[in-house]
Structures are given as C-alpha cells and as structure tokens.
C-alpha cells in the first residue's frame, strides 16, 4: 500500500486541526465544494500514478472553481493522458471509495515518503516551523530544532481506494458525494516547485468541479467567453502592446493604440486629481540605496527589487515605488498645519523583479506605470482624506460599469511585529480602528482580512469583477503611520509644535498595465468611444470620394476626434469588416450621395446602420458622448 503513499502539501504538523467551515472560509468557497474539490485532487493523483507509477506528486490544493496537482514527470502530459486521467477519475468516483483518516508520527512520515524529495522537504520545513505551501505556520514547531531532534508531531493521513496522502483535510466521507458529471480536467502546464524559477519544473494539471452538471456547463461557457476576451489575445489583435525577448520578460512595449489608452486614462486621472486639489510631481527612475534603507523598503522588498548598480562606490536601485521620493519632496520645506493636507501625485514608472513563473501578460509585469499619490495630513483630517480616495474608486466603478467589487481591509498580525510589520502594536490598533470606523460611518461595505497589511500600516485593497465575472485586483489605499517619522517629516501644528503627519498611499487606478488588461477583457476590446484608440473610420467607396473623405476627417479632427481614412483599393464591405474586427465605434461610408449632400452614412461596430446624416449632425451626436465619457455609443 505504501508504494503509492505520498505527502500531500496541506499537512498538519502541530498546527490546529481546522474544521470544514474554517478551511472553506480561508479558501473562499462553500464547505461542501471545498471537500469535493479537495477529494478530487487526491483522486486525480491516484489516476495519474496508475498511468505513471514513477511520477512524484508534490502539492495539490483545492482552489477557486476547482483543484490542481503538481507532478514531477519525465515529459509533459499529452491530451491523450488528460483524457485517460479524467476517464479513470470518473471510474474511481463511481466505485465510491471511502476517505479515511488516521495519524502517523513525523518519523513514520519521513520513512513512508523517503523516495519523494519534495515531500521530504515539506515535512522538514514544517518541523522547522516553515509552514505548509498555503503559507500557514505551525503553531508548535520549534525552528531551533532539526527535524531529527524535534518532538514527534502527529500528521493526518487520508486514504481512498489505492491511494494515500498526508493531508489535514477535510474530505468527503465517500466519493458518493461527488457528481461524476460535474468535474472536468481542463489543462496541463509547467509550474516551478513553490513558484521559484530556480527550482525544478513540474507539470501541473488543473481541474474544475461543481455540485451539478449545469453549474459545470455554465462555468465552461464562461471560460470560453473569457478566452475570447483574453487581454493577451486582444492586445495583439488590436495592436495595444507587445513583449519582446530582446527587451526582456515582463517589460511591455506600448504600441500607438496602447499609448492612446494610457493617455486617456492619465487625462481622466489628472482631471479628477486636479479637481480634488492634488499637485503633480516627477521623480527619477533610480536612487541611492540609502533612501530605501531609510524608508525600510529595502529590507522588506529586496527580493522583489532589481539588483543594485554600483558606481563610484555608491549603490543605486531602480525604484520599485515612488513614496520615498515623495517624502523627500514633502520634507523639502517647512510645513504648517495651514498647508495640510498636501497631496502629491505622479504617474511614475516603477520596476519590480517578479518571478518568471508569475509573469502574466499585463497583469503581472516588471515595469509598471502607477496612478500613484501620497497624501500628508493631520490626524483630524484623516477621515475626509481617506474617504476622498474611496470616492475616487466609486467614480471609476461607475464610469467603467463595474457593478461587483469588494473592498478588503487588510490588517496586521501581532506575531509578525518586528518581522513582517513595524513593531508598534498600539499604533496598529489605532490606525486600523480609524480605517474601520471611517468605512463604517460612510456605509462603505468591506471585509476584513487579517495578516495582509502593508509593513507600515493597514490598507484597503480593491477586488473587482469584469462583466463576465472574472476577478481582478485593481488598486490600494494604504495608511502609513511609521515611515514619515523615519524621514523626520513634520508640520507645525496649531500649538506651534512639530507634529508628524499621517501619510496615505493611494493608487485608485492601480497601474496602467493592469487597468488596461482589465478593461480589454471587461469590454472585450470594444472600448467606449472616449477611450477607443480609433473613434471613427471614414470609408470612401471609390477614389473620387477620397478628397471629400479627407475633408470630413479634418473637420472631425478639429473636434479632437481620433479618425482616419481607409483609402485602400479593397471593397467597401471588406473595409467595414476590418473596422468591426478592430472594434472601431463608428464607420462613416461616403459615396456620391453623401458627398453631394455634405453627409456621411453611419454604421456602428455592432452592425447597426444609422443611415446617412449631415456631418454636423454626426458631430453633434458623438462629441457630447466623448466629452461625457459615456459608457456606450
């Protein structure tokens, strides 16, 4: 039996035995679905090992909508392998094996899994207090002891059919609880062990699972729609951005259409920030090491920063964030309470060394342009300033048609003080209460997530969902009670004494990269007119209509519209189809009648024909839509 026994990543080594409800809560899914998906991960591992006995399973947790499992194998899995795995899984489910649990000692576990170095690493890491792959630490493990010297620790073992894993559970009582028509294996891809590109490459198999066949079919239909909306696919088709190996991974190159998107988003943000009393600043792309040592960023974020450049004995870093330089700008002159709040905004380009295995289109990049700003205020101004940022969020949601969102209050963990977080428990509790009270007072719904704060204070992170229900992390609103003091930032208060301001770090539009990626998928590339890179295409039917087409184009450009003329020799219908493929909002067809009447025949990208209308009438229809940043045509 033990020839097929392997350590599952979610092991218990002295940590609390979480119940179904707690485990499901941590993974944001109903209890019964958590058990089903968790159990299917084990059943999949059993099916894989039957076909590939030498495969080494590593980790395989339940995740949103399904589950996955990583294996070390000699060669990637084929589509035929995937079909065989799924077919065998259905057979196993129909045979209705029971899931049984027992406990073994750490010593026994090391003996059982001696042939699997990944499992041994997990066991030893847990014994040393490193926590499992889900990031949870053992409450009782003593990091000073070696695994061989540590006290025996109970490890829970789950067995079903011919397969045994070490796992804290929970699982279904038997496979009868799993609907064999309600799960499917979806893909196989490479994945680095523990997400580190320096570790071995594994093969990850993904599956999805639900309680009913209908739920599965609805989900798969959404997946197909999501594939059509994939920002990487649309970004190429619509000529928004590219990546190039000679430039480097995670470093996007914005094409002219992408440049227009960025300009429009930045114009929107600048208008809103100007009206809200922000001052714009600009800072360099690199700075001396001392600045990030003083801010505290370097010790906390060194692994996410590019290595330093050394010149004349001085180390320089490209900046991963703008805040230390903004602190310098605030501190460049003496401030009075009458000057506060000071709001410094910048679309600064930052650089972070994301792991290669975590790069993903525009959603996870190494070069990013942040909608960044820092607000320096007195404590009695905090509520108004903090909620002013929240108002920005809500206005952007309205503008982009974002109906579903969650604001997450990320708080500290006491056990992380001095390591993950600034060591000042009283200020943590005070500022967390300030954020909590402000959100509650203004009736803004939020959920509270422990142990996810920034190192210098609590924050609101914003999760949004696209029109097809795909989740994105967009922006952040962070409170900093620690770093201003490190930079000796003060203002003269009403009593004539120096006082340290609070600092609010905020980025309501996140980065251009992630925002454009989201909007590409949200709109399926069919941007509102104000945001569309090309707002209208003029299509002359014959060469004799080109001159008038250029006159119309000039008139529209005078109204600040983005318009071009397709004077190619292609047939009119081909030109229209190409324009629709490029998601251009308006196609203006010109023939003899339109030229002679000073008109254009208007077609929408949706296929709707608005018929001919005078050019001035078209302008009167469209320009107000653009100026209002209306969401539709």
Strand 502-507 and strand 563-565: the pairing is unpaired
| Half-sphere exposure (Cβ direction) of 406: Cα atoms closer than 13 Å | 12
Identify the pLDDT of residue 152: 54
pLDDT 10s digits, 403-437: 899 999 999 888 888 878 888 898 899 999 999 99
Query: What are the E-state strand segments in 112-200?
Result: 155-160, 163-166, 183-192
Identify the pLDDT of residue 454: 83
| CA proximity to 439, closest of 412, 462, 414, 413 | 462
pLDDT below 50 — which residues of the chain? 1-21, 130-150
pLDDT 10s digits, 179-228: 999 999 999 999 999 888 899 999 999 999 999 999 999 999 998 998 99
Yes or no: say if 348 and 370 are a contact pair by the CB < 8 Å rule. Answer: yes
Helix (H) or strand (E) holding 581: helix 572-581
Yes or no: say if 476 and 461 are a contact pair by the CB < 8 Å rule. Answer: yes
| pTM, rounded to two decimals | 0.79
Strand partners, 6: 165
The rounded distance, in Å, linking the Cα atoms of 379 and 158 is 53
Q: Where do the domains of the chain lie, and which CATH numbers do they carry? A: 2-216 (3.30.980.10), 241-284+329-523 (3.30.930.10), 536-627 (3.40.50.800)
Identify the pLDDT of residue 133: 37
Identify the pLDDT of residue 197: 84
Alpha-helix residue ranges (DSSP H) falling in 363-424: 382-400
The rounded distance, in Å, linking the Cα atoms of 192 and 204 is 9
Residue 56's φ and ψ, nearest 5 degrees, are -110, 110
């Amino acid at each position: 039996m033990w020839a097929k026994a392997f350590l599952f990543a979610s092991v218990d080594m002295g940590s609390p035995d979480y119940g179904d409800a707690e485990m499901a809560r941590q993974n944001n899914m109903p209890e019964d679905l958590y058990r089903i998906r968790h159990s299917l991960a084990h059943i999949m591992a059993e099916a894989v090992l039957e076909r590939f006995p030498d495969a080494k399973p590593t980790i395989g947790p339940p995740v949103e909508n399904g589950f996955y499992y990583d294996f070390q194998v000699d060669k990637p899995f084929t589509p035929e392998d995937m079909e065989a795995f799924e077919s065998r899984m259905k057979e196993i489910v129909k045979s209705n094996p029971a899931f049984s649990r027992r406990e073994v000692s750490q010593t026994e576990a090391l003996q059982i899994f001696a042939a699997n170095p990944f499992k041994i690493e997990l066991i030893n890491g847990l014994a040393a207090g490193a926590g499992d792959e889900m990031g949870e630490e053992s409450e009782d493990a003593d990091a000073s002891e070696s695994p061989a010297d540590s006290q025996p620790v109970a490890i829970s073992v789950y067995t079903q059919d011919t397969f045994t894993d070490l796992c804290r559970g929970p699982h279904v009582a038997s496979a009868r609880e799993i609907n064999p028509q309600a799960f499917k294996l979806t893909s196989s891809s490479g994945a680095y062990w523990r997400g580190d590109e320096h570790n071995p490459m594994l093969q990850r198999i993904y599956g999805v699972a639900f309680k009913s066949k209908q739920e599965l079919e609805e989900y798969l239909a959404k997946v197909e729609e999501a594939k059509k909306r994939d920002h990487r696919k649309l970004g190429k088709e619509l000529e928004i951005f590219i990546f190039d190996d000679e430039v480097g991974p995670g470093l996007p190159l914005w094409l002219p259409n992408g440049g227009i998107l960025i300009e429009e988003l930045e114009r929107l943000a600048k208008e809103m920030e100007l009206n809200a009393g922000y001052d714009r600043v600009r800072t360099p792309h690199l700075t001396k090491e001392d600045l990030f040592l003083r801010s505290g960023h370097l010790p906390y974020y060194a692994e996410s920063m590019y290595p330093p450049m050394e010149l004349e004995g001085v180390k320089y870093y490209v900046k991963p964030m703008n805040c230390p330089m903004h602190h310098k700008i605030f501190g460049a002159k003496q401030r009075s309470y009458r000057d506060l709040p000071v709001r410094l905004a910048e679309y600064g380009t930052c650089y972070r060394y994301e792991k290669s295995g975590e790069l993903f289109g525009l959603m996870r990049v190494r070069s990013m342009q942040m909608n960044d700003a820092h607000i320096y205020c007195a404590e009695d101004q905090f509520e108004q300033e903090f909620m002013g940022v929240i108002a920005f969020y809500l206005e952007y949601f309205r503008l982009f048609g974002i109906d579903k969102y969650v604001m997450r209050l990320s708080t500290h963990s006491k056990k992380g003080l001095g390591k993950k977080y600034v060591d000042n428990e009283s200020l943590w509790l005070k500022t967390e209460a300030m954020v909590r009270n402000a959100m509650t007072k203004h009736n803004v719904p939020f959920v509270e997530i422990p142990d996810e704060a920034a190192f210098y204070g609590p924050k609101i992170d914003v999760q949004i969902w696209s029109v097809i229900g795909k989740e994105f992390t967009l922006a952040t609103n962070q409170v900093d009670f620690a770093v201003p003091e490190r930079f000796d930032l003060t203002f003269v208060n009403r009593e004539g004494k120096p006082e340290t301001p609070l600092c609010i770090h905020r980025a309501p539009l996140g980065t251009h990269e992630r925002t454009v990626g989201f909007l590409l998928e949200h709109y399926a590339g069919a941007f509102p007119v104000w945001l569309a890179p090309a707002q209208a295409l003029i299509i002359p039917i014959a060469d004799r209509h080109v001159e008038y087409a250029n006159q119309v184009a000039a008139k529209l450009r005078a109204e600040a519209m983005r318009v071009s003329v397709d004077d190619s020799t292609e047939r009119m219908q081909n030109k229209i189809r190409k324009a629709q493929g490029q998601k251009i909002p308006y196609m203006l067809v010109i023939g003899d009648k339109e030229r002679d009447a000073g008109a254009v025949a208007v077609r929408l990208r949706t296929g709707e024909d608005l018929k001919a209308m005078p050019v001035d009438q078209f302008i009167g229809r469209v320009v107000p839509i653009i100026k209002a940043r209306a969401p539709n045509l």
